[in-house]
Chain A
């Protein structure tokens, strides 16, 4: 069964901490994505990557950075966590062939 695995289901971090959210896929997909999902705002794209060491800003990149050193792994970094980054974070991958995205189960991050 193909998978996108996010390292944590729940995280609680303090304001100002550096936070790493990890995502690993086992489908050899080129494309990987980070979204956040908030009530009333839906899913919003933060960053995406078409290939190793490549990254593109999505619609709301401010306050975030990403790293893709290996094809299967895409990390989202909150350089200095703030309370407005409390959200559900969803990682996804796709083969770029027009097929559907495969999402991870999500990480619910609370910044206090």
Chain B
């Protein structure tokens, strides 16, 4: 069956350190993969998109990697700040289709 798996345990990290989140998928051939941030009681907010032919993408303090052999994406928040505390969702679009399927999300808590 198709699965998108993110670590369901919260990630507690000290301010200034790098947070690394993992997204693994099975039985998908994604055209691209996206990362979103979600704050409690709010809708997800789009952060980054990486395509199947790209290895790495950066945006300010965020970095995403995409390894289609390992079927894995890593999401890094460098120099983390308390304001980065949120749930981060990965989502992918299969090669054939346009609908986004989401992982369960990983909650990040950055402590001052």
The residues of A with any CB-CB pair to B shorter than 8 Å are 4, 31, 33, 35, 40-43, 45, 48, 50, 56, 58, 90, 92, 94, 96, 98-106, 108
Tell me whether chain A's interface is mostly helix, strand or loop, or mixed: strand
Complexed CA–CA distance, A35 and B91 (Å): 13
Question: Which residues of chain B have C-beta atoms less than 8 A from A106's C-beta?
Answer: 41-43
| Complex: chain B residue closest to A106, CB-CB | B43
Complexed CA–CA distance, A101 and B31 (Å): 15
Please determine whether B31 and A105 come into contact, CB atoms closer than 8 angstroms: no
Tell me the smallest distance from the CB of A3 to a CB of chain B, in Å: 11
Question: Which residues of chain B have C-beta atoms less than 8 A from A4's C-beta?
Answer: 43
Q: Does B34 contact A (CB under 8 A)?
A: yes
Contact with A along B58-81 (1 / 0, CB 8 A): 000000000000000000000000
Tell me the smallest distance from the CB of A94 to a CB of chain B, in Å: 8
Please determine whether A100 and B46 come into contact, CB atoms closer than 8 angstroms: yes
Q: A103-B44, A105-B42 are in contact. Are A42 and B32 (CB under 8 A)?
A: no
**Interface extent on B, as a size class?**
20 to 34
Please determine whether A103 and B45 come into contact, CB atoms closer than 8 angstroms: yes
Question: Which residues of chain A have C-beta atoms less than 8 A from B46's C-beta?
Answer: 99-102
Tell me the smallest distance from the CB of B37 to a CB of chain A, in Å: 11
Please determine whether B102 and A43 come into contact, CB atoms closer than 8 angstroms: yes
Q: Does B101 contact A (CB under 8 A)?
A: yes
The 6 closest A-B CB pairs, nearest first, are A100-B46, A103-B43, A43-B102, A42-B104, A106-B43, A103-B44
Complexed CA–CA distance, A48 and B100 (Å): 10
Question: Which residues of chain B have C-beta atoms less than 8 A from A33's C-beta?
Answer: 99-100
List 16 interface pairs A-B (beta carbons < 8 Å), by A numbering: A4-B43, A33-B99, A42-B102, A42-B104, A48-B98, A58-B99, A92-B43, A98-B32, A98-B49, A98-B93, A99-B46, A100-B34, A100-B47, A101-B34, A103-B44, A106-B42
Please determine whether A43 and B98 come into contact, CB atoms closer than 8 angstroms: no
Q: Does B89 contact A (CB under 8 A)?
A: yes
| Complex: chain A residue closest to B4, CB-CB | A42
Please determine whether A42 and B98 come into contact, CB atoms closer than 8 angstroms: no
Question: Which residues of chain B have C-beta atoms less than 8 A from A56's C-beta?
Answer: 99
